[in-house]
Structure 1
Amino acid sequence: METKIDEIAPDVFRISTVVPEVAPGGFGFNQFLVRDEEPFLFHTGMRQLYPLVSDAIGRILPLQDLRWISFAHVEADECGAMNLLLRDAPRAEVVHGALACMVSLNDLADRPPHVIGDETLDLGSRRLRFLPTPHVPHNWESGLWYDETNELLFAGDLLTQIGDGPALTSDDIVESALRAEEIFHSTALSADLAPTLERLAQLQPTTLAVMHGSSFQGNGATALRALASGYAAAAADQA
């Protein structure tokens, strides 16, 4: 396996490892590192990927300089290497919403996590805002981050695609994401899904940093609303 690094926005780096056996054409596991005065990592990857991911981080900035670690929800591919990073980055803290900290992270993290609320997380030259998204696309404690400086949404599992596509594309990724949903059935088709996607669309993001597959540059609101329409059609088919 090869781990690739691509800068998808100024000082925002996508670290991507494609695992061949997960899906036809492979399945990418992406982390996103924001280089700033207080560097921020979104997703840690699984423990088994830690040698590759930590090496990639070290090619962007000294690993010990990492300050913040976060992820959308508690799953191995999102936070499996959390404590390995806390071990090797002595200044780092896990940061997440109150629910994730109460339910899981106060116990799982080797250092107490930092609870984020309505305040922004100041990295130095940019500010990130935590967006609770319970059960979207899944997990009660789920939450995403929005980089207000770059108009970039760290979208987590939303818009997941299979295969090894480009790091960043302006092409439509919604159709590919809906095909992936037909394979994995990973999205909770609940009453909260469409309102949450609309709330994210109203941010008018111009970049969507996607955990599995290509990230998207363009009209993020249009992409999120198209995704909501696709999910609505899928839910109607299941009714």
Structure 2
Amino acid sequence: MPSNLRKSYLATSDIHTLPSHLPLGALGLLPVNAYLISARQPILVDTGLAIDRGNFENALWSLVDPRDLRWIVITHDDRDHCGNLKEVLMAAPNATIITNGLTVARLGEEWDVPAHRVRTVNPGRTVELGGRTVSFMRPPSYDSPATLAMYDHTGDALFAADSFGTVLPEMVENAGDADRSDYLEGMSTFTRANAPWTALADQVKWDSTLAEFSKLNPGSVLSSHAPTATSRAGELVETVRAVPAMDPWLPDEDLEVEAVLDRYEASHSDTEPQGAK
């Protein structure tokens, strides 16, 4: 099976990125990241794409012994975030999943998640994971009602799930290595495409939500769909603040609906019984 997984790298001094990507045609490449926090009790955030199966596990276990992995945070149930969850859970006997209850229910459409290996949390919860303090919150934009972002107080890093994601012409490890215009315009495009409801968002409420993240001002923003953003949280907030005022984004179509209807009507008029009304 082909794999888009690339070599892991350090996003911060103790947070590894396991990067992959999805090609989106003319739009460019969508980064797809999972993260490993190398703590006293290691924490994995998301489990990558199913297309990377085998390669993802090999990359992960090169960074941590399966028996040492203690926590698997799943930001939400989309396949690009939990594509290898079952395999990782089977290989890591001491690991416990932390996620929202909706995610567990939705994962149950595909496989029976072992209840004794899951702890559910909601936005607003702060917990200690082996001496590491983390807080869960709902990120500004999302495409699943189950979505959780996680702020790591120790590392001053925000795992933002789909928020602040972008599409790029080529993959880079740090946002500073991308063309600034490509990076920020790609973020506006991805936010509108991934969360089309933002076109209906009340600007005052949207600004209020973003103000919470401005106040947090994390040193590192680690989106599931973007390179590492260091010391630029304010710029990211300002970029997505403009989204509700933008036109909704839709992909190109390759089906000309009007032409199809015309051909349909023409073909049926030729066979319509004479005198029919």
Scaled by the length of structure 1, the TM-score of the pair is 0.84
Does 2:252 align with 1:223? no
String of CA shifts for 1:134-184, please: whole Å, max 9, x gaps.
Answer: x832211111000111221101111222233321234744332113346xx
Q: Partner residue of 2:273?
A: none
Classify the secondary structure of the residue corresponding to 1:202: helix
Aligned to 1:136, what secondary structure does the other structure show?
A: coil
| 1:22 aligned partner, one-letter code | L
Q: Return the alpha-carbon distance in structure 2 between the equivalents of residues 162 and 40 of structure 1.
A: 27
Number of residue pairs matched by the alignment: 232
**Counterpart Cα distance in 2 of 1:213 and 1:205:** 15
Aligned-partner Cα distance in 1 for 2:153–2:247? 32
Identity over aligned residues, as a percent?
19
Cα-to-partner distance string for 1:48-92 (whole Å, 9 max, x where unaligned): 312121111112111332111123221100112211111111111
Matches within 5 A, 1:115-134: 115-117=120-122, 118-133=124-139
Residue 8 of structure 1 and its aligned partner are, at CA, apart by 1.0
Q: Does 1:76 align with 2:89?
A: no
User: What's the counterpart of residue 30 of structure 2?
Assistant: 27
One of 165, 168, 173 as aligned partner of 1:167: 173
Between structure 1 and structure 2, the one with the greater Rg is 2
Q: What pairs with 1:77-226 in structure 2 (closer than 5 Å)?
A: 77-101=80-104, 103-105=105-107, 108=111, 110-112=113-115, 113-117=118-122, 118-133=124-139, 136-163=141-168, 164-170=170-176, 172=180, 173-181=183-191, 185-187=193-195, 188-189=197-198, 190-191=201-202, 193-226=206-239
Report the AA paired with residue 166 of structure 1: V
Moved more, 106-115 or 82-91: 106-115
For residues 148 and 83 of structure 1, the distance between their equivalents in structure 2, rounded to whole angstroms, comes to: 28
Distance 1:145 1:180 in 2: 20
Letter in 1 for 2:225: H
Shift of 1:105: 5.0
Distance 1:3 1:98 in 2: 31
**Which of 10, 22, 47 is residue 7 of structure 1 equivalent to?**
10
Which ranges of structure 2 fall in alignment gaps of 5 or more residues? 251-277
User: RMSD value over aligned CA atoms?
Assistant: 2.7
Partners of 1:71 and 1:237 in 2: how far apart?
A: 27
1:68/1:92 contact within 8 Å kept: yes
2:224 maps to amino acid = M
What are structure 1's unaligned runs of at least 5 residues? none
Aligned partner of 1:233 in structure 2 is 245
Q: Distance in 2 between matches of 1:202 and 1:96?
A: 24
Q: Distance in 2 between matches of 1:137 and 1:32?
A: 18
Q: Bigger relative contact order, structure 1 or 2, given CA contacts below 8 A and separation 6+?
A: 1
CA contact (8 A) 1:40 1:67 kept: yes
Contact 1:68 1:95 in 2 (8 A): yes
Q: Is the 8 A contact 2:16 2:36 kept in 1?
A: yes
Q: Would the aligned equivalents of 1:147 and 1:153 in 2 still touch at CA under 8 Å? A: yes
Change (3 A) 1:178 1:236: closer
**Preserved contact between residue 48 and residue 81 of structure 2 (Cα < 8 Å):** yes
Q: Is the 8 A contact 2:10 2:16 kept in 1?
A: yes
Counterpart-to-counterpart distance in 2, 1:58 and 1:237 = 39
